[in-house]
Structure 1
Amino acid sequence: MIVVTAAGGRTGGAVVRALWAGGLRVRGLVGSSQPRPELTALSADVVAADLRDPSSVEPLLEGAEALYLIWPNFDPGETAGATALLAAARRAGVGRVVYHSVLRPQARSMPHHAAKDRVEEALDASGLRWRVLQPCAYAANLDGQLADVAATGVLRSPWGLEQAQSLVDLRDVAAAAVALLTEDGLDGGTFEAVGPEPLSAPRLAELLAEHLGRDVRAEDAAPAGPVPPREQYAAHCARLMFDHYRAHGFTGSPRVLEALLGRPARTYAEHLATLELPGATVELR
C-alpha cells in the first residue's frame, strides 16, 4: 500500500490516479470527511486525517510501502508539521518517503519555498529512506484564465512580460512521483520536474492564440500595493512569489524529469490539447 497525503488536492489526486493506473493499492489522506467520489472511484482507501496531528496519522501509515508527502500549499506550519509527520512515518515503519517539494526551495525570498527547504533538511536527518521531487510551476496554473482569454484575447501576467517559466504538465509530475515511489536505486536523490521550454507571457499568448483560434496578447498585470503582511501568509507568499518570478523567472532543465519518465516532457501545447474550447477547464485525461 502507498499512502498519499493531501489526496483531495490537485497534485494528490493526480498522483492517486497515476498509481491506480499502475495497478497499485493507495490510501489517500484528505483534510475532511466529505465524500471523495473521484478517489473512491479509483478504489482508493480514502481517510480523513489532520496532518498537523501526527499521532492520529501514524496508525494510518503502518504497513505502508511508501508515503508521498504533500503538504497543503501556502501553509505557515509546513516545516514543523511535515517534520513531525516524518518522525511518525519512521515510527510506523514506512518503507520509503517521497517528499513533494518545489524547484529551488533555497530561494529565501519566497517563504513557502524556504519552508520546504527546511523540510528537506529534516528529511536528510530523519533516518528514513527518502527521495525528493521538486516541480516547477504547473501548466494547469493558467487554466483558470482560459475562458477570459478566449472572451477578451488578453492573457494577464502577474510575473510581467520579460521573464519565463518552465511550466510542467501535472501528468508528468504524477508519473515522476510514481517512479520515485516504486522504483529501486533512487534513495537519497533529489529530482527536478521541469517543463521542456522556458515560456514568457508573450510566448504563452502565441500558444493560446493557436489553441483558441483567435488573437491573444499578453498584458502585464503587476500586483498593486504593498506586500501583504506575513500574518496573511498565503497572500504574503503569493505576492513574494510573483515578485521573484518578475525579477528572475522560474525556469530549469527538463533532463532529470525526462530521465525519470523515459520520454520527452509534455509541452504547454500538449497540455492545452487536453482542454475543451473555448477554454473551459476539464479533467486531465
Structure 2
Amino acid sequence: MIVVTAAGGRTGAAVVHALWARRKRVRALVGRTAPRPELTALSAEVAAVDLTDAATVEPLLAGADALYLIWPNFHPQETAGAVALLAAARRAGVARVVYHSVLRPQARAMPHHAAKDLVEEALDASGLRWRVLQPCAYAQNLDGQLADAATAGVLRSPWGLRQGQSLVDLRDVADAAAVLLTEDGLDGGTFEAAGPEPLTAPQIAAVMGTRLGREVRAVDVVPDGPVPPPEQYAARCRRLMFDHYRAHGFAGSPRVLEALLDRPPRIFADHVASLELPGGAGELP
C-alpha cells in the first residue's frame, strides 16, 4: 500500500493515476468528505483527514510501503505540519517517504519555497528512508489562459516577458514520483524535475498561437500595489513568487528527470497539442 496525501488536488490525483498504471494499491488522503470518483475509478482507497492533525493521520500510515507527502499549495503550516507527519510516518513504520518539494527550495525570497527547504532539512534528520522530488512550474498552470488566447489573442504574464520557465508536464512529474515510490537504489536522493526548454512568455504565446491557428501576444501584467502582508500568506507567496520569476526566471536542467523517466520529458508544445480547444478554435472550416 502506498499513501498519497493531498490526493484531492491535481498533483496528488496525477500521482495516484501513475501508481494505478503500475498496479499499485493506493490510499488517497483528501481534505474533505465528498465523493471522489476520479480516485475511486483508479481503485484508490479514499480517506478524508486533516493533515495538520498528525495523530489522526498516523493510523492511516500504518504498514504503508511508501508515503508520498504533498502539502497543499501556499499553506502557512507546511513546515510544522509536514515535519509532524514525518514523525508520524516513522512511528507508523512507513518503509519509504518521498517528499514533494519544489525546484530551488533554498530561494528564501519565496516563503513557500523556504517552508519546503525546512522540511527537507527535517527529513534528512528524521531517521526515515527518504527521497525528494523538486518539480519546476507545471505546463498545466497555463491551461486556464487558453480560452483568453483563443478569443482575445492574449497571454497574460505576471512574470514579465524576458525570463524563462522550464515548464514541466504534470504527467512527467507523476511518473517520476511513481519511480521514486516504487524503485530501489534511490534513497537519500534529491531529484529535480524540470521541463526540457526554458520558455519566455512570448515563446509560450507563440506555441499557443500555433495550436490555435491565430496570433497570440504576450502581455506583461505588472503587479499593482504593495506586497501583501505576512498574514495574507497565500497572496504574499504568489506575489513574491512572480516577482522572483520576473527577476530571475525559473529554469532548470531536464537531465535528472530524463534519467528518472528513461525518456525525454514532454515539451510544452506536446502538452498544448493534447488540450481540447475552446469553442472550436483552431478547427479547419
Q: Per the shorter chain, which TM-score range?
A: over 0.9
Read off the aligned partner of 2:185 and give its amino acid letter. Answer: G
- The two structures have a TM-score, normalised by structure 2, of 0.97
1:278 Cα deviation from its structure 2 partner: 2.8
Q: Any gaps of 5 or more consecutive residues in structure 1?
A: 281-285
| RMSD across aligned positions (CA) | 0.8
Q: Partners of 1:279 and 1:80 in 2: how far apart?
A: 45
Determine the C-alpha separation between the residues in 1 that align with 2:8 and 2:171: 16
- Number of aligned residue pairs: give it: 280
- Aligned counterparts of 2:208 and 2:181: Cα–Cα separation in 1: 34
Identity %: 79
Is the Cα contact below 8 Å between 1:212 and 1:279 reproduced in 2? Answer: no
The equivalent residue for 1:21 is 21
Which runs of structure 1 show a deviation greater than 2 angstroms over 4 or more consecutive aligned residues? none
State how far apart, in whole Å, the 1-side matches of 2:75 and 2:213 are: 39
Counterpart of 2:245 in structure 1 is: 245
**Cα drift, residue 72 of structure 1:** 0.4
Cα deviation per residue 1:42-72 (whole Å; 9 max; x = unaligned)?
Answer: 1100000111111110000001000000000
Equivalents in 1 of 2:10, 2:222: separation in Å? 26
Change (3 A) 1:183 1:113: same
1:159 positional shift: 0.3
Superposition deviation, residue 279 in structure 1: 7.5
Give the aligned partner of residue 200 of structure 2. Answer: 200
Question: Which residue in 2 is equivalent to 1:120?
Answer: 120
SS in 1 for 2:73: coil
Report the secondary structure of 1:199's partner residue: coil
Q: Which residue of 1 aligns with 2:185?
A: 185
* C-alpha contact (below 8 Å) 1:3/1:66 kept by paired residues: yes
Residue of structure 2 equivalent to 1:233: 233
How far apart, in 1, do the equivalents of 2:116 and 2:279 lie?
33
The TM-score normalised by the length of structure 1 is 0.97
Report what 1:133 is aligned to: 133
Q: Matches of 2:278 and 2:33 in 1, distance apart?
A: 35
What secondary structure is seen at the aligned counterpart in 2 of 1:38?
Answer: helix
Find the counterpart in structure 2 of residue 154 from structure 1: 154
Tell me which amino acid in the other structure corresponds to 2:188: G
3-state DSSP of counterpart to 1:86 = helix
Give the secondary-structure state (helix, strand or coil) at the position aligned to 1:159: coil
Structure 2 Cα separation of the partners of residues 99 and 233 of structure 1? 22
Task: From the superposition, tell whether residues 161 and 116 of structure 1 become closer, same or farther in structure 2 (CA, over 3 Å).
Answer: same
**Which range moves more in the overlay, 84-93 or 269-278?**
269-278
Distance in 2 of aligned mates of 1:98 and 1:160: 33
Cα distance in structure 1, aligned partners of 2:68 and 2:222:
35
Cα 1:229–1:31 change in 2 (3 A) is: same
**Structure 1 residues 131 and 279: CA distance shift in structure 2, 3 A:** farther
**CA distance in structure 1 between the aligned counterparts of 2:278 and 2:236, rounded to whole angstroms:** 33
Who is 1:165 aligned against?
165
Residue aligning to 2:283:
none
CA distance in 1, matches of 2:103, 2:175: 17
Matched residue, 1:10: 10
Partner Cα distance (1:196, 1:54) in 2: 37
Gaps of 5+ in 2: 281-285
| Residue of structure 2 in register with 1:283 after alignment | none
**Could you tell me whether the CA contact under 8 Å between 1:166 and 1:196 is conserved in 2?**
yes
Residue 222 (structure 1) aligned with residue 222 (structure 2): yes
Q: Residue 212 of structure 1 contacts residue 278 of structure 1 at CA under 8 Å; is this kept in 2?
A: no
